[in-house]
Amino acid sequence: MKSLEEALNHKVGLGTAPLGNMFREVPEDEAQTTIQTAWDQGVRYFDTAPFYGAGLAEMRVGEVLSKYNRDDYVISTKVGRYVLDEKEEKEGLFQYARNNKVITDYTEDATERSIEQSLERLKTDRLDMVFVHDVSPDFHGEEWTAKFEEARKGAFRVLTRLREEGVIRSWGLGVNTTEPIELAMMLEETQPDVCLSATQYTLLQHEHALQRMMPTAEKKGIDIVVGSPYNSGVLLGGDHYNYEKAGPEILDRVNQLNKIGGKYDVPLKAAALQFSTAHPAVKAVIPGSTHPGRIIEDIEMIQRDIPKQFWNELVEKGFIAENAPLPIHSK
Catalytic sites, residue numbers: 47, 52, 78
Contact indicator for 58, 50 with CB cutoff of 8 Å: yes
Measured CA to CA, the distance from residue 153 to residue 85 in angstroms comes to: 27
Measured CA to CA, the distance from residue 119 to residue 128 in angstroms comes to: 11
Cβ neighbors of 206 (< 8 A, separation 6 or more) are: 200, 275, 320, 321, 324
Contact indicator for 279, 300 with CB cutoff of 8 Å: no
Contact indicator for 227, 273 with CB cutoff of 8 Å: no
Contact indicator for 243, 93 with CB cutoff of 8 Å: yes
Measured CA to CA, the distance from residue 204 to residue 215 in angstroms comes to: 19
What does the CA dihedral 149, 152, 154, 156 come to, rounded to 10 degrees? 160
Contact indicator for 120, 76 with CB cutoff of 8 Å: no
User: Measuring CA to CA, how many Å separate 286 from each of 106, 108, 122, 167, 210?
Assistant: 24, 28, 18, 24, 19
Contact indicator for 200, 177 with CB cutoff of 8 Å: yes
- Kindly tell me the sign of the dihedral angle through the C-alpha atoms of 24, 25, 31, 34: negative
Q: How many DSSP H helices and E strands does the chain contain?
A: 14, 12
Which of 81, 106, 108, 107 is CA-nearest to residue 94? 81
